[in-house]
Structure 1
Amino acid sequence: MTGDASTSSADEAPELELGAVPGERTTGRRRGETARSDAGRPVPPFVERLAWLLDDSIRVPGTDRRVGLDGAIGMVPGLGDGAGLVASTVVIVTAVHQGVSLPTVGRMVGNVLIESLVGVVPFLGDAFDFVWKSNSRNVALLRAELAEPARTRRSSIAALGISAIVVVSLLAITVAAVLLGVWLLVRAVDAVL
Structure 2
Amino acid sequence: MPATFQSLPGLGRDPASIRQRVEHAERLLEGLITIPGLNRKVGLDVLLDALPGIGPVAATALGGWIVWEARNLGLSKWQMARMAGNVGFDLLLSAIPFVGAIPDFFFRSNSRNLRIIKRHLDRHHPGAATIETEVRRA
Structure 1 residue 126 displacement after superposition: 1.1
2: CA distance between counterparts of 1:94 and 1:69? 19
Q: Find the counterpart in structure 2 of residue 61 from structure 1.
A: 36
Conserved? CA contact 1:68–1:130, under 8 Å: no
Describe how 1:117-156 pairs up with structure 2 within 5 A. 117-148=92-123
One of 26, 36, 41 as aligned partner of 2:15? 41
Structure 1 residue 102 displacement after superposition: 0.7
Q: Find the counterpart in structure 2 of residue 75 from structure 1.
A: 50
Identity score, percent? 33
Structure 2 unmatched ranges of 5 or more? 1-13, 125-138
Q: Find the counterpart in structure 2 of residue 50 from structure 1.
A: 25
2: CA distance between counterparts of 1:115 and 1:73? 12
Task: Report SS of the residue matched to 2:88.
Answer: helix
Conserved? CA contact 1:56–1:67, under 8 Å: yes
Instruction: Tell me if 1:84 matches 2:34.
Output: no
Structure 1 residue 47 displacement after superposition: 1.3
Higher relative contact order (CA 8 A, sep 6+): 2
Structure 1 unmatched ranges of 5 or more? 1-39, 150-193
1: CA distance between counterparts of 2:27 and 2:38? 18
Which of these two proteins has the greater Rg computed from alpha carbons?
Answer: 1
Structure 1 residue 123 displacement after superposition: 3.0
One of 84, 88, 96 as aligned partner of 1:109? 84
Structure 1 residue 124 displacement after superposition: 3.1
Runs of 4+ in 1 over 3 A off after TM superposition: none
Normalised to the residue count of structure 2, the TM-score between the two structures is: 0.73
RMSD between aligned alpha carbons?
1.6
1: CA distance between counterparts of 2:19 and 2:33? 22
Aligned residues: 110
Normalised to the residue count of structure 1, the TM-score between the two structures is: 0.53
